[in-house]
């Protein structure tokens, strides 16, 4: 059981102790309130926290049962939805000792207002998704090749006893696809540069640093557009690759009336901002684009606004198809 007065030399050792305690009482705890050593020193420069080891991380930590914590009443006018919490008051409070060398449990409340059983504890998301690393990698591989989720679910239960739901497997597959998509774009960029000698320009999100837009053009595209810049067609399409991003094509027409690709791009979010960046990059990379006289696009107002902005002298037509 929880021991008041027990001391820990690091926050990690406290968390290890908490995990053992959780399995004893069949309840999950989370950090509800805390203050870091850095924040304490910033507010009180002469505080004992300045001398505390970095491994302690916190001046105080309040751990609460996941069915409790602080009450919160939403002011949103939307329909009310169910919540996992039911006001459980079980918690324990950990504080930095006077000497500044340890974290110490100073108070506890072990009374839960809900049943605590082993079956209910094992059914919590934190526990049922606690799979061995090798098994989790095998599960991801099977999901990526469209393996039967029901059979994967049964295999996990036989090997670990964890009651993983089909929704859990869908979430695991989604997270692995996100990392695969990121890795796939990196490989694609390298291939465009090394194998096809393309001029590649990338737009990243300024906050998350994730890729937002990819522009590329090889030497043949550039030379052909330099010869025949008078008319271009611009549009985007979906479902050409697993990322579900929009693939944008700028098509031009040669002297025989045959179309050729003048530039291409991949837009992960089809907003006016990314379309603007794509068309602006095309203008910057192709000085001969000043000679564009006719632009054909669909009824998408974002595309038409951008085309008017960067090709003010061109006649803008709409495609009936």
Inside any domain, residue 76 = no
Inside any domain, residue 75 = no
SS3 for 208-222, per residue?
A: CCCEEEEEEECHHHH
For residue 268, give the nearest of 199, 184, 173, 172 by alpha carbon. Answer: 184
* CATH number where 286 lies: 3.30.420
Residue 197, helix vs strand vs coil: coil
Q: Residues 233, 282: contact at Cβ < 8 Å?
A: no
User: 153 and 63 in one domain?
Assistant: no
Q: What is the CA radius of gyration of the chain?
A: 29
Query: Distance between CA 231 and CA 213 in Å, rounded?
Result: 24
Tell me which residue range forms the domain holding 141.
Answer: 129-190
User: 301 and 204 in one domain?
Assistant: yes
User: 203 and 155 in one domain?
Assistant: no
Query: Distance between CA 132 and CA 92 in Å, rounded?
Result: 29
Q: Residues 274, 287: contact at Cβ < 8 Å?
A: no
- The tally of CA atoms less than 13 A away on the side-chain side of residue 21 is 21
User: 185 and 200 in one domain?
Assistant: no
User: 109 and 37 in one domain?
Assistant: yes
Q: Specify the pLDDT at position 183.
A: 59
User: 5 and 115 in one domain?
Assistant: yes
Inside any domain, residue 77 = no
User: 263 and 165 in one domain?
Assistant: no
Helices (H), the chain: 11-25, 37-43, 118-122, 125-128, 133-144, 149-160, 166-194, 219-227, 272-285, 301-310
Question: How many other CB atoms are there within 10 angstroms of residue 186's CB atom?
Answer: 11
Q: In what order do the strands lie in the sheet with 29-36?
A: 7-8, 103-109, 91-96, 58-65, 29-36
Query: Distance between CA 189 and CA 6 in Å, rounded?
Result: 55
- Interior angle at CA 24, CA 18 and CA 28, nearest 5: 50
Inside any domain, residue 79 = no
Inside any domain, residue 36 = yes
Inside any domain, residue 212 = yes
Inside any domain, residue 124 = no
Q: How many domains does the chain have?
A: 3
User: 225 and 210 in one domain?
Assistant: yes
Query: Distance between CA 98 and CA 14 in Å, rounded?
Result: 18
Inside any domain, residue 78 = no
Q: Specify the pLDDT at position 50.
A: 85
Per-residue pLDDT of the chain (321 residues; tens, 9 = 90+): 788 999 999 999 999 999 999 989 998 898 888 999 988 888 888 888 888 888 999 999 999 998 886 665 666 665 666 666 778 889 999 999 999 899 999 999 999 988 888 888 887 877 877 788 888 888 887 777 677 888 888 888 888 888 888 888 877 776 555 555 555 678 888 889 998 999 999 998 887 788 889 999 999 999 999 999 999 999 988 766 656 688 999 999 998 999 999 999 999 888 889 999 999 999 999 999 999 999 999 888 888 999 999 999 999 998 776
In angstroms, the first-to-last Cα distance of the chain is 72
């Amino acid at each position: 059981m929880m021991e008041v007065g027990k001391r820990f030399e690091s926050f990690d050792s406290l968390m290890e102790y908490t995990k053992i305690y959780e399995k004893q009482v069949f309840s999950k705890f989370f950090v509800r309130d805390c203050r870091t050593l850095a924040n304490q020193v910033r507010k009180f420069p002469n505080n004992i926290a300045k001398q505390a080891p970095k491994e302690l991380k916190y001046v105080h930590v309040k751990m609460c049962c996941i069915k409790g914590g602080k009450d919160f009443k939403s002011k949103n006018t939307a329909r009310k939805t169910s919540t996992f919490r039911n006001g459980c008051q079980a918690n324990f409070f950990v504080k930095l000792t006077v000497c500044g060398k340890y974290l110490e449990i100073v108070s506890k409340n072990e009374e839960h207002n809900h049943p605590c059983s082993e079956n209910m504890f094992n059914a919590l998301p934190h526990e049922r998704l606690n799979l061995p690393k090798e098994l989790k990698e095998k599960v991801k591989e099977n999901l990526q090749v469209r393996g039967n989720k029901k059979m994967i679910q049964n295999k996990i239960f036989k090997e670990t006893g964890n009651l993983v739901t089909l929704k859990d497997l869908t979430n695991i597959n989604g997270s692995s696809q996100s990392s695969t998509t990121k890795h796939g774009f990196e490989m694609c960029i390298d291939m465009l540069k090394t194998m096809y000698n393309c001029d590649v320009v990338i737009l990243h999100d300024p906050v998350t640093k994730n890729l937002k837009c990819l522009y590329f053009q090889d030497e043949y595209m550039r030379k052909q557009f330099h010869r025949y810049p008078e008319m271009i067609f611009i549009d985007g399409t979906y479902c050409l690759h697993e990322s579900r991003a929009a693939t944008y094509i700028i098509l031009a027409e040669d002297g025989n009336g045959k179309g050729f690709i003048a530039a291409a791009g991949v837009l992960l979010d089809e907003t006016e901002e990314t379309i603007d960046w794509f068309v602006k990059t095309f203008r910057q990379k192709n000085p001969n684009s000043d000679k564009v006289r006719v632009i054909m696009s669909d009824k998408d107002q974002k595309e038409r606004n951008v085309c008017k902005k960067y090709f003010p002298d061109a006649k803008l037509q709409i495609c009936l198809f």
